Amino acid sequence: MKNVLVTGGAGYIGSHTVLALVDYGYNPIIVDNFSNASPKVIDRLEKLANRPIKCYSIDCCDKKALEQVFVENEIFGVIHFAGYKAVGESVQKPLMYYQNNLISLLNVVEVMHEHNCLNLIFSSSATVYGAPKSVPIYEDFPLHVTNPYGRTKLMIEEILTDYVKANPEFKVALLRYFNPIGAHESGLIGEDPNGIPNNLMPYITQVCIGKLDHVRVFGNDYPTKDGTGVRDYVHVMDLAVGHSLTLKKMENCSENLLIYNLGTGKGSSVLDVIHEMEKAVGHSIKYEIVARRAGDIAECYANCDKAYQELGFKAKYNLFDMCKSSWNFQQKNPNGIK
């Protein structure tokens, strides 16, 4: 079995990807500093995978510690999720974002280089498209970012693009995620934000569980079907499978820079999500229309043909499945994974 190092493997997308890797016959090894995830996630992953999962509690900014992982294990590839991800916080603390997200990536690539590990998947985001000229968004659309978080994603894409030019034997896949929501069907792992959630789905589930009073809908005057923002919500388990398919592709292809949108190709409005969630929980959800959130765009959804044609990636879960599984996780973990 090939060892795949998953940085940020205890986090939301990372933990689900660990399970998908096991399903596809890889041996995931987790690196996480647990700054934004609970160590309990590892026990739960072992239970779900029905086998031990090696985990190193280290920070990717600590290059020596990272090197030790490569000394102790032969690593076939790395999936790099570890990083700060809150847009608002990045505007307040830009240096913290550049320091953490860029240094950890540089360490990962340098250590891979030293140990002749040649396959890297980077966890990028649709945020690199900024306000797109049109929708759906194709991979070759112009890139433009509006905040330090997004800029770290774009800078890392550029760094890796330069790196593969200089090192053609090294393969990189840039996966641009749209809006991941949902949770593993067991309800044992899911999105577990600290404090009041910034993103729509965890905010809605916390309203449903009674921790927050009502959903604030950020604007209903966008040029969309019902005036609220439209996004491409994709089930985190579909996204997780997308990583395994990408690794399989990297094992057999000659190209050394792969770029894919991972979404469903379908746009849903904020009100669509609230109404679908009402079906999943079986009662109405209180919401209020408030002002637009600074920096938000009207519509963002993917064209996913490239990922389908080249990886065989196709999202199998719909919005109702996503809502149901998010709700299941919230109900089973009313206070998160503690």
Rounded Cα gap, residues 107 and 112, in angstroms: 8
Q: How far is the CB of 110 from ligand UD1 (least distance, A)?
A: 26
Q: How far is the CB of 321 from ligand UD1 (least distance, A)?
A: 18
Q: How far is the CB of 218 from ligand UD1 (least distance, A)?
A: 4
Beta-carbon count within 10 A of 111 CB: 23
Site string for ligand UD1, 151-190 (x = CB under 6 A): ----------------------------x-----------
For ligand UD1, the binding residue among 198, 220, 303, 318 (CB under 6 A) is: 198
Rounded Cα gap, residues 146 and 79, in angstroms: 25
Q: Is 150 in the site for ligand UD1 (CB under 6 A)?
A: yes
CA atoms within 13 A on the CB side of 124: 31
β-pair type (230-231, 268-269) = antiparallel
For ligand UD1, the binding residue among 27, 73, 199, 224 (CB under 6 A) is: 199
Q: Is 81 in the site for ligand UD1 (CB under 6 A)?
A: no
Tell me the number of residues near ligand UD1 by CB under 6 A.
18
CA 119 centroid distance within chain:
19
Could you tell me what percentage of the chain is helix, strand and coil, using 3-state DSSP and rounding each to the nearest 5? Answer: 40, 15, 40
Q: Which two tokens stand for residue 105?
A: 């990536």
For ligand UD1, the binding residue among 25, 295, 312, 334 (CB under 6 A) is: 295
* Contact predicate 279/246, CB 8 Å: no
Residue ranges in 16-75 that form contacts with ligand UD1 under rule CB under 6 A: none
Site string for ligand UD1, 221-240 (x = CB under 6 A): --------x-x---------
DSSP code string of 226-273: SSS-EE-EEEHHHHHHHHHHHHHHHHH---SEEEEEES-S--EEHHHH
Residue ranges in 235-274 that form contacts with ligand UD1 under rule CB under 6 A: 270
* Contact predicate 224/299, CB 8 Å: yes
Could you list the active site residues? 149
Region binding ligand UD1 by CB under 6 A among candidate stretches 32-40, 105-113, 185-193, 290-298: 290-298
Number of H-type helices and E-type strands within the chain: 12, 14
Q: How far is the CB of 279 from ligand UD1 (least distance, A)?
A: 18
For ligand UD1, the binding residue among 51, 165, 293, 316 (CB under 6 A) is: 293
Q: How far is the CB of 199 from ligand UD1 (least distance, A)?
A: 3
Nearer to ligand UD1, 208 or 217 (CB): 217
Helix, coil or strand: residue 293: coil
Beta-carbon count within 10 A of 36 CB: 18
Q: Which two tokens stand for residue 337?
A: 């994974």
Amino acid at 280: A
Q: Is 216 in the site for ligand UD1 (CB under 6 A)?
A: yes
Q: How far is the CB of 52 from ligand UD1 (least distance, A)?
A: 31
Q: Which chain residues interact with ligand UD1 by CB under 6 A? A: 87, 125, 127, 150, 179, 198-200, 203, 216-218, 229, 231, 270, 293, 295-296
